Structure 1
Amino acid sequence: MLFNVVKYAPIIEKARTSFWFVPSVMVFSSIILAVASVYFDASYINNSKLKIPLIYAIDVDAIRSLLGTIAGAMITVTSIAFSITIVALTLASSQFGPRLLRNFMMDPGTQVVLGAFISNFLYCILVFCAISFEAPYTFKPGLTVVIAVLMTCISVGVLIYFIHHVAKSIQADVVIDDVYEELQNAIQNLFPTNSKQQNFAENSALIEPDVSQRHTQLKVAAKCSGYVQTIDQQALVTLATKHNVLIECCLRPGDFIVKDAVIAVVHSNMAVPKTLINDAAGKIILGARRTPVQDPEFAIHQLVEIALRALSPGINDPYTAITCIDKLNAVLCGLTKRNFPSPQDFDQAGMLRLSCKVLTFRDIASAAFEQIRQQANRDVAVTIRLLDSLHNLIMEAQNDEHKHFVFSQTKMIEEQQNKLSLAEDDLKTINKRVASIYSVSK
């Protein structure tokens, strides 16, 4: 249910892409664990006849020394882990682009590792303070020490995992696949399958009130400059139904808007309360950066940026660019089997309540191919893979829009290559693939 996610999407996005949320939850849990274990040792073990010599026969001074050693080791390992993380972020920023830092920061593995080390350190400090109390608050530690040792053993395993995880996470294929998986998840949430096509057709056949017949127009202005992160369409439809108006949204997620610019227009035949303007503006969330919640082009641009950096003279890594093209091709082939959202939303009575800008197949496909095609005009291997991808796409095409995009891209590639001085065999290979694409339409 997309509209449920939209309401809390900005908060969820900030929490997922931060290094503080998961570690904070783990630190809070370690505080509760320390208090509970100390309370158990002090209240139940001291007042019961239960004796476990192997655990409760350890000298308190030895326990205090052990906890101090563990705490010192954990804070040292934590600083090392933070240093490794910063190095990985710096490398990722220079090799894949600064926008990919978001993907590294939202990695749950890194967040859990940092939280585990800090939690272990804080637990040992709290227990160290508890066993230092003087009478009548003294107690025989046992369970608290066992938990501290277990947490330390787990932290050792976490450290080994972290080293492996960092070495793996900065590999180009892993980074590309992570972006691809996020893009696929966004597409599944935003675009329905063909099984829902009948519902769209029925909605489009409903009688729509003409906008020109509504005499009153109120403009909704942006309260700040920024990117459109989410639009709560369900809430806008409910709001429009409540006041018997038509809301025309002038932008879509991913668009940039400046302060006081018009983001929506309210059409009505009667006077509407001024609170409607603020309510409508509150359903359109603006932020300093784009998010993939309702903006699949965001992840598309991430893959394109990786490909463009790989094709730059400074890096010159065509294989990474080819991998990005393969992932983009898989996404576009999948999109040919899905329906794009309707630009119109109706209430339960069949009245048009919301009109908004929506993405089309050509918008996404152009974002995926245009810049790579322009940058790869002198790289024969990448050009050939682009043509192979276009051939795969024309084989999956479901309508004229899909076919027109493939033919237009193929024609531009053909024109670019004919203007270059290429080897005869390379030119034949390219022309052969171009001919295979054109032959599909015959």
Structure 2
Amino acid sequence: MKNYLNNAINYFIKLESKIAFYPTLMSLGGLFFAFIMYYFESLGISSYLVEHAPLLVVNDTDTARSLLTTFVAGLISIMVFSFSLVMILLNQASSNFSPRVLPGLISNRRHQVILGIYISSLLYSIFTLVAIEPNGNEYQLPGFSVLLAIVFMTVCLGAFIYFIHSISQAIQVNNIIDKIFSTAITRLEVLIDAEEEYKTDFPDTSNWHVLKSFKSGYFQDLSSNNLIDIAKANHCKIEVIPVKGTYILKGAPIVKYNVDLDEDFVKQIEASFLYSKSELIEDNYVLAFKQITEIALKAMSPGINDPGTAINAIDYLTDLFLLRMHKNDRGCYIEDSQPIIKVGTVTFSELLYSVMAALRTYCKHDIIIVAKLFNMLKYLLINNTKYSEHYKEAVLKEVENLYQDTLKNHSNSTDLNRIELMYNEFLTYNSNT
């Protein structure tokens, strides 16, 4: 039962990122509130307010109909315009930056809430309009409900103004990169805080039982609580083979375990793997490196030619790599100071190589970007003194790769001298440390 509950929670978290999630909930709320007002009107709330607070009641049938009809037509127009702006935002972000940033923009909660305000107010106004009787008088007219519709319409106008401001900010590349960066920082800090030092290495898994994938898809997330419960219940150790974000083919090995498990536990392990077609940084911080790198590469394409954006992206990558150096290259879940679950992770050297390989390929012709990459690697090397020696070797390897590529793509003597100077700084620092 607990496993099903964990799966339901994980499914809800994924559903929350959909663009229609909050609008749907708020629409149901608007509909429910309209029926609540039906009930209060049947109790005579409008007739009571006509006698004691007439300013809070719209007691003219024609005025009420005109207002509500105008509200319905105006809200539909606002919704069409707002949805059009969202589509324009997504299209521009996809063409100018990277298609991978779309899930993050779609899951923008502020835009979802604003769209939800529109739809819930629209439904409330429609049902309030239906409640007006053809020959109603001041006692039959839902005057207080009409006043509330005016209040909701005022809120919608304020939300529309905020929406215009928000959408104009969301389309700016600096804000897109900053959101990706902030989300990745939060995820990395959670992983770093959750790490515990242990002295015992994870056992050799070469002869363990192997569980193969029952379907194909992108390995988006893992229900770790389920696996921990299974490992504790069976007194076993589990290794998760694939890395988050990779595409798993049907029949590929995904899990190894060191004891015989019955069919029920095997099915629970399979249910712990969450497959998805979208990518969310909240689940996998590596996607932030990929997305920021792709934004930098797109900025350096001939069609856009925006080296300033590429420089900003490299600054954010530098900060992310520096924080990543605080994290171990191995991922484990600990129980009683012993690792019981080993999780496949992207090592620092692999991550640095994948980012630098792409930047070297598409930016090596620009001496300004090359200098920025040398500065990034220099900063990582200087701040590596208290971290793993493997991290230092990975940085020095990328320095050598960058140096070789840039020499082959520059012929100007000034540029070559600058490249040699930056490279010699690394050699000098390395020899002194």
Q: Is structure 2 residue 239 aligned with structure 1 residue 240?
A: no
**Alpha-carbon distance between aligned partners in 1 of 2:52 and 2:267, rounded to the nearest angstrom:** 67
Query: Closer, same or farther in 2 for the Cα pair 1:44/1:341, shift >3 Å?
Result: farther
**Alpha-carbon distance between aligned partners in 2 of 1:104 and 1:290, rounded to the nearest angstrom:** 12
Partner of 2:371: 384
Query: Closer, same or farther in 2 for the Cα pair 1:9/1:36, shift >3 Å?
Result: same
Partner of 1:178: 179
Name the SS for the 1:251 alignment partner. strand
The total of aligned residue pairs comes to 424
- The code of the aligned residue for 1:258 comes to L
Q: CA offset at residue 385 of structure 1?
A: 0.6
Q: CA offset at residue 211 of structure 1?
A: 5.1
Q: CA offset at residue 184 of structure 1?
A: 1.0
Query: Closer, same or farther in 2 for the Cα pair 1:228/1:237, shift >3 Å?
Result: same
**Alpha-carbon distance between aligned partners in 2 of 1:262 and 1:65, rounded to the nearest angstrom:** 65
Partner of 1:358: 345
4+ residue segments displaced more than 6 Å: 4-7, 133-138
Q: 1:131-171, CA deviations, whole angstroms, 9 ceiling, x for partnerless residues?
A: 23778996232321221111111111222222222222111
Q: CA offset at residue 33 of structure 1?
A: 2.3
Name the SS for the 2:52 alignment partner. coil
Q: 1:283-342, CA deviations, whole angstroms, 9 ceiling, x for partnerless residues?
A: 222223443344211121111111111111121111111111110001111222x23264
**Alpha-carbon distance between aligned partners in 2 of 1:135 and 1:323, rounded to the nearest angstrom:** 64
Structure 1 unaligned regions, length at least 5: none
What are the equivalent positions in structure 2 for 1:111-130 lying under 5 Å apart?
111-130=112-131
- The code of the aligned residue for 1:334 comes to L
Name the SS for the 1:265 alignment partner. strand
Query: Closer, same or farther in 2 for the Cα pair 1:341/1:409, shift >3 Å?
Result: closer
**Alpha-carbon distance between aligned partners in 2 of 1:257 and 1:377, rounded to the nearest angstrom:** 33
Name the SS for the 2:402 alignment partner. helix
Partner of 1:22: 22
What are the equivalent positions in structure 2 for 1:68-147 lying under 5 Å apart?
68-132=69-133, 139-147=140-148
TM-score when scaled to structure 1? 0.88
**Alpha-carbon distance between aligned partners in 2 of 1:55 and 1:167, rounded to the nearest angstrom:** 37
Of 328, 334, 341 in structure 1, the residue corresponding to residue 323 of structure 2 is 334
Backbone CA RMSD of aligned residues: 2.6
Query: Closer, same or farther in 2 for the Cα pair 1:55/1:48, shift >3 Å?
Result: closer
Q: CA offset at residue 28 of structure 1?
A: 1.4
- The code of the aligned residue for 2:269 comes to A
Query: Closer, same or farther in 2 for the Cα pair 1:7/1:426, shift >3 Å?
Result: farther
**Alpha-carbon distance between aligned partners in 2 of 1:438 and 1:373, rounded to the nearest angstrom:** 20
Query: Closer, same or farther in 2 for the Cα pair 1:399/1:240, shift >3 Å?
Result: closer
* Alignment check: 8 A CA contact 1:221 1:259 kept: yes
What are the equivalent positions in structure 2 for 1:5-404 lying under 5 Å apart?
8-16=9-17, 18-45=18-45, 48=48, 50-56=51-57, 58-132=59-133, 139-192=140-193, 199-200=196-197, 203-205=198-200, 217-268=208-259, 271-336=260-325, 338-340=326-328, 342-348=330-336, 353-397=340-384, 398-404=387-393
* Alignment check: 8 A CA contact 2:103 2:279 kept: no
* Alignment check: 8 A CA contact 2:192 2:327 kept: yes
TM-score when scaled to structure 2? 0.90
* Alignment check: 8 A CA contact 1:113 1:158 kept: yes
Query: Closer, same or farther in 2 for the Cα pair 1:87/1:314, shift >3 Å?
Result: same
